[in-house]
Structure formats: structure tokens, C-alpha cells
A and B are shown apart, each in its own frame.
Chain A
Amino acid sequence: MNAAPSPSGSTRRIPFERLPVRRIILVALSLAIIYGVVAGSAATLRLGQFTGANWRQLVINGVARGSVYALIAIGYTLVYGVLFMINFAHGEVFTSGTYAAYFVAVGFAGSGFLNTHPLVSIAILLVISMTVSMVVAIVLERLAYRPLRGAPRLVPLITAIGASLFLQYTMRGLFGANVRSYPEIDVLQGTWNIFGTEILRKQAIVIVSALVLWIVLYLVVAKTRTGRSMRAVGEDREIAALMGIDVDRTIVATFAIGGALAGAAGILFVFVFNQVIFIMGFLPGLKAFTAAVLGGIGSISGAAVGGLVLGILEAVGPNLFLTGAAVPSPNQLQPVVAFGILVLVLIFLPGGFFGAAGDERA
């Protein structure tokens, strides 16, 4: 029983409660995930099943998907930054604009306009989609969220879920349950040769457009008055009101911008995938939400980065981590990979990439 007191007065035997058990478990878990990832990747690369060109394709593919996620995620993050609510119905905002543009696109294709004037057509479709999505977002805010401004967080969450279901099945009732296909635009087919790699034209356009939109948005939020109002309302709603900012108008503007972005994302989405169906917004919405959290919810750069990271992770992850480990059907486990990495990131960065660590926004 040699418990000689040390100079500071505490005994040398560490009492059990002081042991950072939780910290140990977390570190162990993280190490396990990291080990799995590294070992799996090494095994896959050793297997040599995929060529360098394959990996390049997958990465580009991931960037394209990620760009779409990023645009939708920015919409989530904008609303969250101002209202601190998760707008579950954002996926349906995305779908509604796309549907509206679909009917116009079919009309254009029927008359041949689509392929004779592709740029004009695309511009028109973009405008229509963004407008309709914007309108739906604004109506949603007015009818479903505004009455609940002061309520505890769970209430608007359930309202958003209800609104999401309502919108989904409204579109099913209006437009039917069958999958509709967008007419193909000839100018978008084929590939471009950039830096020696063949990139699908569609993907290149998606990536570039998303980048442009992100920059535009960033400038809007950072430089314009509306953007400043949004940041102010997000910071402290009452003081902002005291300072003369029209809170209601700012919130409507936030929803409008988020909606417009979702509409743009919708057009980019259908350029690549050509399909519209009433439930198409559910999964992208979910992933965009994940991306927003990954990047730090409330941060626009975070949403963009989170989207890209998620996209690349989904495209490359399962093949890279799991093929070497002889897991059957590795791509089926894509959600496991994505969410597993999410958990890993959040263990070390509880606020996401750009959220303040230990962010107290409970």
C-alpha cells in the first residue's frame, strides 16, 4: 500500500471514475474505423482490380454527385442558419421545380425547339424550375412554418415531415406514380477531353454550374444587404428586429434563395439522370442534409464542402474500402460507408468541418 503523496497532494493510484473511459472507447472506435478503412483500401489496391482510369472516373463522378448534394445542402443550411429548423420538405421543393420544368421540356422536345436552341431551352428550363421551387418554398414557409416560429424545435420538425409527405403525395396525385423521362438534349451527350481524361459533358456542366452558383450565393450572403440581414437574424433575431431589419421579409428571402438553389439543383440532376418521379427528392434531400451536417450546419462553405466530400465518399468509398475485404456486394453498403465516416468525423469534430467545435446550438 504505497500511496505516497506526490508533491501536488494527489495519490499516485488513479481512482476509476477519473479514467476517461468514454474517451478510451471513442478512441478505440475511431482507430477501429480508421484501421478498417486503411486496411481495406490497401487490400483493394493490392488486388489491382481497378485501374487508375477507373478511380479517376469514380472521383469525377463523385464530384458531380457531390455538386448536386452541395446545392441542395446549401438550401438546408441557409434555412437552418436563420431559423434553426431542419426543413425536411426541402427535397420536395427540389422535386416540384423539376416536374414543372419537365412539362415544358417535353413541349420543347415535341416541337424540336429543344435541340435547335439548346442553350435558350436550358436557360428557360432553369428559370422555370428555380421559380417554381422558389414559390413552393415560400408558400411552405408562409403556411406551415410561420405559425410555429416560437415553438420548441421538435414541432417544426414534425410539421416539416408532414409537409414533405403531403407534397410528395400531392405530386403523385397530380402527375401519377409512373417514372417520367426527360427528353435527351443532344448537345449534352458525349464527352469532353479535359486534361487527358474523358469527362461526360453532363458531369462537367453540373460541376461548373454548381461552382458558379456557389460563388454567386457566397457573394450574395457576404456582400448584399439581404445576406447581411440573413446573418443578423441568424445571430440574434430580437436584436436584429430592434435594429430595423424586417425579420419576416428576411426569412422569406432565405426560403426563396434556398428554393431557387434547389430548383437549379433539380435541373442539373435531371441532366445527368433524366428521370422525374414523385419520390425523387427524398434520398437526395436526406443526403444533402447529411452533407450539411458534415460540413457544419449553418455554414455555407461547410455545406458545399460537405456535399463534395459525401459525393466522393459515396462514389469511391465502397469500392475502395470493401472490395479488398472480400465483402460481397460492397456497393450495397454505401450508406454504411457514408454514415460510418460521418460518425467518425463527428466524434472528433462535433460541429462538423466548419461548425465551431462543441457548438452549443442545442
Chain B
Amino acid sequence: MIRRKLRPGVIGGAVILYLALIGMVEAFEDRFIISNVIGLGTTLVLVTLIGTGYLASKPAEEHHDPPALAGLVTGAFAGLFIAVCVVILEAMLSAGIQVRNVFVSVTPGLLNVLEFGAGKILGPILLVIVGAALGAAAGALRTLAVEWRGAIVYGLSMVLGISLAEPLLVGVIDGLSIPSDWLYDAARGGLTVTGTIITLVAAGVGRWFWLRKRDTVVQFRAHMPDDRRRKYSRVAAGVIIGVLVALPWIVGTFISDVLGTVGLYVLLGLGLNIVVGYAGLLDLGYVAFFAVGAYATGVLTSTASFLVTSNRDQFAAHGFLNFWVALPVVVVIAVIIGAAIGAPVLRLRGDYLAIVTLGFGEIIRTLVLSDWLAPYLGGAQGLLRVPPAPPNSWNLRDPRNLYYLIMAFGLIGALVAYRLKDSRVGRAWAAMREDEDVAEAMGVSVVRYKLLAFAIGAGVGSLGGVFFAAKIGSIFPNSFSLLVSINVLSVIILGGIGSIPGVVIGAFVLVGLPEFLREFGEFRLLIYGAILVGIMILRPEGLIPNKRRLRELHVADQEAQMGELVTEEPA
């Protein structure tokens, strides 16, 4: 058994080594999880050890190892692996070898964290012991009844979660005028000890009851008479709407700002959903329409735009056009450009389309950055002094007020998308998506519907640009890079292609979360990349998949199943 557990142990230890070498362990240690008790860096190490023990103690059919023992052995191996690494690194540092020339994160501070502050000799020993202990505990968890196991895991996870969500929750709690210093240590960051205990107990107990009573609740829900159920869902909807309406005032300016950005990405996602999700056209250059919307708005409404330089006084207060007048103009411009971009690429399939649209995105970015168009678009210095949307009395530069505007347009966009999906146009797109040639043969004018998809997608995308310009007030070319196109694509795929609630959830996860994890600045994109890979492997249909897509995705599985049914030997 011991030999079997060697590999998972080494893998666990290697994960800790990885986290240490990329600098996460040391950088995160400054962030307290429980104030003055334990930092995030050490927590990472401990969680990895627990996870290793838990996964390795999974009961397998062939071997019946007692889970606690399996966990203990694996945890010990993991701890041993990292302990050996620490000893080697300490030796290298003492010998004066410049490890930092290669691995920049190997500092005395890092080694201190890994040794739990216990020094060069005691530290590694401690690592092995802690590894074994945590592994054993994790294994022992498996032997518990479901309620207890769930309660403990949930309680601990909530402690971690609530601690990490401090920037988010502090704003909310303070906004509700409830003092938060029983829960969070404001100055040093992290949960207070009392807060930890309360969270642990509350979450654990709650989970325990939920797990105990879950069946009863499910039965209750299933057997509820229809009108009762409708009443409850109406109340629930009312509560949700109430919360959404009051949200900016509860959560404060920072989170409202983030929600505004999320709203922008929802708009962009809805637009790209039409191009990629409904019409099946792989577009990697969606940022082009975003840029067109932003710059067109800037040129038309900014007080520094070239359109008004000749007549400064007349346009001192606002730009050439009023924001609300400029908005439809911008959308029309974008629609035209969308159709213009779509026209040459209609014949292209799949990946060729992808690279060409990517090219268009890059062309637009280069053009808005270029010195050539700088007299009109600002070039490297950007287009500045875009006024917020009037009327000034609404104070739409305050993120809390802008939130309502963006939400309103988001709802409009969602409505448009929803109506399109099941309309004649939507069905034509679905046919096109399945098989272009068959669709053409059935009388669906592929050309027309492709152009329509590009045009509508461009229009919606440009709305995102319009609000971007109004929200921030300065338009710089480096906001329109390929990464934005990739972000929007990831949002809709994560949420589930073709699914409208999916776009919203996707935007929250991929745009909102990184903002809340801002303090982990250098590692944001690393975590982002890992999340993308993880979600795609674990749940490729997205978080809220469109039912039709779900079936499409698993058609292969279904066929396999059918195949088995057919080829089974008759009994």
C-alpha cells in the first residue's frame, strides 16, 4: 500500500513546490485568512496536503486500505517531498548559490513560510508531521457519515470563502450599516478569531441540517401544489428584483463599478452570442466593434474631439452631438462596418474565419493607435474628455447610477437576443449552424443571414463600446487588444454557448471575480487560465447550458449508448 501511495504523495508535494516557486506562497502569505493566526500562503500548503490525502484515500475496488491510514501515508509522502525540497534549497542558499537568478521566488521569506516559521531543522520535520496528520484527517473524513463530512468540509470552505471575499462583503455589510468588526479585522485583513468560530459553526450546522433534511425538502418541493409553487417563485422573483434594484446602494461604489464592467461584458457577450452561438460563425475579432462603438462615441461627444476644435466655445459643455443623439448614430455606423467586415469573409469556414476576424480586430486596434489617424482618433495619447451621459442631474459618472443605465440596456439586449433565438431569423441561423449546404438547399439564403448575424452582432457590441466610453471618459487604444475578444468568447463559452442566462453568469465569473481578487494582481491571469482549462475539462457545455446544445454535445455519448443497446447479445 505504501508504494501505491507514493505517486499521489509526490504529486501533492510537487503541487506545493509549484505554488512556492511561482511566488504564490510567499506573496499570498501577507494576506491573513485568520488575522494574526494564519496567512493565505500557509493555507494553500495545508489545503494541498488535505486535498492530496482526501483524493488518495478514495476507496478503490481492488484494495481495501483504511482511508485514514491511506491518507496518512500519502500526506506524509507529500510532506516529505516538500521537506526535502526545502532542505535542498536551504542548503543551496547557505552555500551562496544564487538560486534567485533562475527561480526568482526562492527567498528566505518563502522558506520561512514553508517551514511554518520553525527554522531549517524543525521546519522540514514539521512538514512531514503536518502532512501526515492532515492526510490522516482527510482520510478519516471519508469514514464519517455524510452529514458530518459535509458539515466539516462546508464549514471550513466557508471560512476560507468568507475570508477571501472580504473586499466584497465588507462593502455590503458596511453599506447595510451593520458593524463588521466582529467578523473582519479591518486593519490587518482576515477574519477575527470570533468571526472564524462563528462562521465555522454557523456554516457547519447549517450544512448538517441541510444534508439531514435534504430529502424531505426535495420531496416537499416536488409535491407542492402548482399554485403554491407559483406564489413562491413570484415572491422569490420579487426579492431578486428588489435586490437587483437596490444593489448599488447596498454594495457601495467599488462593487457597483465592477458590476458596471460586468454589465458591459454581458452586452458584449450577448452580441457575440448571436454571431458565434446562434449563427455558428467563429469570430475572434469582436473587439473591433467594441472599439468602433467607443471611438465613434468619443469622436461624436468628446469636447476634445476634432469635430469641435474649430468651434470650441459653442461646444464647451458637450461635444458635437448629445450622447443620446450620438447613440443611434454609433450603432448604425457599427452595423455598416459589421456588414462590411462580413462581406468578404462569407465564403470562409471555421478556422479561416477565425483568423480573418482576428485580423480585423488587430487592424482596428492598429488603426486607432496609429499616428496616421491620430489627428482624428487621438493616437497614443487617446481620446479624452468624453462626458458622461447627460442629463447631468442624473450624475451618471457615479458607478451606482451608471449601473442602472447599463442594466437597462443589458435587459434590452437580452430581450432582443431572446426574441431572435426562436424567430424565423434564429431558426435560419440554427439551420445554417448545423449544415450550411443543406440550409442553402432548403432555401435559407446563407449570405443574407450571415451578414445579418455580423451586422446585429456589431450593433450590440458597439453598445458596449458606447457605455465604456461614457463610463470611463478616456479612450486609449490599449483597451482594445486581442485579450478583450478572448475574454468575451470565454464568457459565452463558460456560461454556455447560445444561452442568455449563461452569458450573465459567465460575465460574473470571468469578469467580476478577477476584480474581487485584485489583490492577487500578478496571479490573476494565471488563475484565470487555470479556471478556463478546468471548466472546459470538467463541464464543457458551460455553466448554464442551452438545452439543445447540451444534447448536441452529448450526441456522441448517446450514439455510443444506442450502439451498445443494439449490439447487445440477446439474453
Q: Do chains A and B touch in the complex (CB under 8 A)?
A: yes
B-contacting residues, A64-113, CB 8 Å: 80, 86, 103, 106
Which 3 A-B pairs have CB atoms at the shortest separation, nearest pair first? A162-B532, A173-B22, A165-B529
Q: Which of B350, B523, B530, B556 makes the CB contact (< 8 A) with A173?
A: B523
A346 at the B interface (CB under 8 A): yes
Q: Report A32 CB to chain B, min CB distance, Å.
A: 11
B-contacting residues, A271-308, CB 8 Å: 286, 289-290, 293, 297
Q: Report B467 CB to chain A, min CB distance, Å.
A: 26
Question: Given that A164-B529, A342-B359, A346-B352 are known contacts, is A333 also in contact with B366, CB under 8 Å in the complex?
Answer: yes
Q: Which residues of A contact B344 (CB under 8 A)?
A: 25-26, 29, 343, 346-347
* Cross-chain contact A290 with B105 (CB below 8 angstroms): no
Residue-wise, chain B 102-128 has the 8 Å CB interface mask toward A (1 for contact) of 111100000000000000000000000
A352 at the B interface (CB under 8 A): yes
Interface size class of B (residues with CB under 8 A): 35 or more
A-contacting residues, B314-360, CB 8 Å: 343-352, 354-356, 358-360
* Cross-chain contact B523 with A169 (CB below 8 angstroms): yes
Binding site for A on B (CB under 8 A): 18, 21-24, 101-105, 276, 282, 343-352, 354-356, 358-360, 362-363, 365-367, 369-372, 436, 447, 482, 486, 489-490, 493-494, 497, 522-523, 525-526, 528-533, 536-537, 540, 552-553, 556
Q: Which residues of A contact B366 (CB under 8 A)?
A: 332-336
Q: Which residues of B contact A3 (CB under 8 A)?
A: none
Chain B residue nearest to A292 in the complex (CB): B355
Q: Report A337 CB to chain B, min CB distance, Å.
A: 9
Stretch at the interface among A45-53, A126-134, A153-161, A250-258: A153-161
* Cross-chain contact A174 with B21 (CB below 8 angstroms): yes
Stretch at the interface among A202-210, A221-229, A354-362: A354-362
* Cross-chain contact A335 with B540 (CB below 8 angstroms): no
* Cross-chain contact A86 with B530 (CB below 8 angstroms): no
16 A/B residue pairs, CB under 8 Å, sorted by A: A26-B343, A29-B344, A153-B282, A155-B540, A162-B530, A162-B531, A162-B533, A168-B525, A169-B522, A173-B523, A175-B103, A335-B363, A336-B366, A339-B356, A339-B362, A342-B355
* Cross-chain contact A342 with B103 (CB below 8 angstroms): no
* Cross-chain contact A329 with B371 (CB below 8 angstroms): yes
A151 at the B interface (CB under 8 A): yes
Query: Per DSSP, are chain A's interface residues mostly helix, strand or loop, or mixed?
Result: helix
What total of A-B pairs shows CB separation below 8 Å?
Answer: 175
Q: Which residues of A contact B529 (CB under 8 A)?
A: 161-169
Stretch at the interface among A7-15, A35-43, A55-63, A142-150: A142-150
* Cross-chain contact B486 with A342 (CB below 8 angstroms): no
A161 to B360: give the CA distance in the assembly, Å. Answer: 19
Q: Report A118 CB to chain B, min CB distance, Å.
A: 23
Q: Which residues of A contact B522 (CB under 8 A)?
A: 169, 172-173
* Cross-chain contact A336 with B367 (CB below 8 angstroms): yes
Question: Given that A150-B556, A152-B552, A162-B528 are known contacts, is A103 also in contact with B363, CB under 8 Å in the complex?
Answer: no
A328 at the B interface (CB under 8 A): yes
* Cross-chain contact A155 with B104 (CB below 8 angstroms): no
Chain A residue nearest to B487 in the complex (CB): A161
Q: Which residues of B contact A297 (CB under 8 A)?
A: 351-352
Q: Report A136 CB to chain B, min CB distance, Å.
A: 14
* Cross-chain contact B351 with A159 (CB below 8 angstroms): no
Q: Report A314 CB to chain B, min CB distance, Å.
A: 13
The interface size of chain A toward B, counting residues with CB under 8 Å, comes to 63
Q: Report A34 CB to chain B, min CB distance, Å.
A: 14
Question: Given that A164-B529, A169-B525, A176-B104 are known contacts, is A155 also in contact with B493, CB under 8 Å in the complex?
Answer: yes
A311 at the B interface (CB under 8 A): no
Q: Which residues of B contact A116 (CB under 8 A)?
A: none
A156 to B533: give the CA distance in the assembly, Å. Answer: 9
* Cross-chain contact A148 with B363 (CB below 8 angstroms): no
Residue-wise, chain A 155-197 has the 8 Å CB interface mask toward B (1 for contact) of 1101101111111111011111000000000000000000000
A334 to B367: give the CA distance in the assembly, Å. Answer: 10
Q: Report B526 CB to chain A, min CB distance, Å.
A: 4
A333 to B363: give the CA distance in the assembly, Å. Answer: 8
Chain B residue nearest to A294 in the complex (CB): B355
Q: Which residues of A contact B493 (CB under 8 A)?
A: 154-155, 158
* Cross-chain contact A328 with B371 (CB below 8 angstroms): yes
B-contacting residues, A311-362, CB 8 Å: 327-329, 332-336, 338-340, 342-343, 346-347, 350-352, 358-362
A22 to B448: give the CA distance in the assembly, Å. Answer: 10
Question: Given that A328-B372, A339-B362 are known contacts, is A148 also in contact with B536, CB under 8 Å in the complex?
Answer: yes
* Cross-chain contact A173 with B352 (CB below 8 angstroms): no
Q: Which residues of B contact A168 (CB under 8 A)?
A: 525, 529
A153 to B282: give the CA distance in the assembly, Å. Answer: 10
* Cross-chain contact A358 with B347 (CB below 8 angstroms): yes
Which one of B101, B103, B351 has the highest number of Cβ atoms from chain A below 10 Å of its Cβ?
B351
* Cross-chain contact A161 with B343 (CB below 8 angstroms): no
Q: Report B404 CB to chain A, min CB distance, Å.
A: 32
A50 to B429: give the CA distance in the assembly, Å. Answer: 52
Chain B residue nearest to A326 in the complex (CB): B372
Q: Which of B23, B101, B356, B363 makes the CB contact (< 8 A) with A336?
A: B363
Q: Which of B349, B356, B536 makes the CB contact (< 8 A) with A162?
A: B536
* Cross-chain contact A362 with B370 (CB below 8 angstroms): no
Q: Which of B102, B356, B363, B367 makes the CB contact (< 8 A) with A346?
A: B356
Chain B residue nearest to A290 in the complex (CB): B355
A343 to B349: give the CA distance in the assembly, Å. Answer: 13
Q: Which residues of B contact A163 (CB under 8 A)?
A: 529, 533
* Cross-chain contact B351 with A293 (CB below 8 angstroms): yes
